[in-house]
């Protein structure tokens, strides 16, 4: 099964610049200005142009807002150099919400993209998440 990640934005060119310049993704197919596919991650990201105040689901009272919002879903991007990635994203309009922190498995930083969506950057060290297995286990090759 494949997964595609859809991200609503209110400014397509700014979104393309953020995700390509900040994270190194590249544009794939472009469906006029309403839908742009970004490639280079393990799953494609689809940027969907939707105006603020529009309803995401017909008949819903909810409306789109591109202010910082909390949702139980966010994106984690694994990077090789977290400090450089944070700097690039800040240059492209991200907001740093949690500076780089050390964890048993590596480094993490929390940001919001220019459209209010939460994103984390991860830089794994050692065995990555396997560092927190209890008790430590050796996984087969």
Superfamily of domain 1-51, CATH level 4: 2,3-Dihydroxybiphenyl 1,2-Dioxygenase, domain 1 (3.10.180.10)
Q: Give tens-digit pLDDT for 71-112.
A: 888 999 999 999 999 999 999 999 999 999 999 999 999 999
Cβ pair 34, 49 in contact under 8 A: yes
Query: What is the three-class DSSP state of 60?
Result: coil
Q: Whole-model pTM?
A: 0.87
Position 135 scores a pLDDT of 62
Q: Which stretches of the chain score pLDDT less than 50?
A: none
Ordered by start, the domain boundaries in the chain are 1-51, 73-141
Count CB atoms within 10 A of the CB of residue 96: 14
| Other residues' Cβ atoms within 10 Å of the Cβ of residue 39 | 13
CATH superfamily of 73-141: 2,3-Dihydroxybiphenyl 1,2-Dioxygenase, domain 1 (3.10.180.10)
Output DSSP code: residue 125. -
């Amino acid at each position: 099964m494949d997964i595609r990640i859809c991200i609503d934005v209110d400014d397509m060119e700014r979104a393309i610049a953020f995700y390509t310049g900040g994270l190194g993704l590249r544009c794939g197919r472009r469906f006029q200005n309403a839908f742009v596919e970004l490639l280079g991650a393990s799953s494609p990201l689809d940027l969907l142009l939707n105006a603020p105040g529009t309803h995401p689901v017909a008949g819903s009272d909810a409306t789109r807002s591109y202010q910082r919002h909390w949702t139980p879903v966010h994106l984690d991007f694994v990077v090789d150099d977290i400090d450089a990635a944070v700097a690039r994203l800040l240059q492209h309009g991200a907001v740093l919400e949690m500076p780089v922190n050390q964890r048993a498995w590596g480094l993490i930083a929390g940001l919001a993209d220019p459209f209010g969506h939460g994103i984390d950057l991860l830089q794994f060290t050692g065995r990555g998440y396997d560092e927190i297995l209890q008790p430590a286990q050796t996984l087969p090759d």
